[in-house]
Amino acid sequence: MTCDLCSAEETTQFYAVTGGPQGAGVQICATCQSQIEGQLEENHWRCLASSMWSQEPAVQVLAARLLMRLADQDWARDLADQLWLDDETRAWADNQAVADGHADAGGHVDANGAALATGDNVVLIKDLPVKGAGFTAKRGTAVRGISLVQDNPDHIEGRVEGQRIVILTKFVKKK
């Protein structure tokens, strides 16, 4: 059989992709399974560039989760930025990534799952209309020296065009 992730032609086994439909999973090789359950070898996972486009939602979800775990690699962040998932599949991918502990479940994380801290610099990944200020913060705008909103891990504060604004963490990526 062929591994759904790395396309290796070898014996595969069922791997459950939790957090979504009951019984959802993929067929993966022993190499992929051992790395998913342990330390990821970054070069092995360059295969995600093709498997993330699978028509199977479980493969897409697992690829998205692996890209989040590899967010410290430039190529993985680029792939994660390119990956489009429908709302239901994105919710499935995000659901388990936080519950697995790959992202800091109690803290602030960016769109790629990288932990955010006070003073970090981030970049907007989407045009954001700023309510009450009469302007739109453009995609690619750098926000330097962010502050974390302590009671809400989905919000950070930063200065854009001289205005201090609240930004959703899902619309930023760490520089």
pLDDT tens-digit readout, 56-114: 999 999 999 999 899 889 999 999 999 998 888 888 887 744 444 444 445 789 988 88
Model confidence at 41, in pLDDT bands (50, 70, 90)?
very high
Instruction: Write out pLDDT tens, residues 133-170.
Output: 889 999 999 999 998 888 788 999 999 998 889 999 99
Nearest 5 degrees, angle CA 89-CA 154-CA 118? 130
Tell me, yes or no, if the pTM score tops 0.85.
no
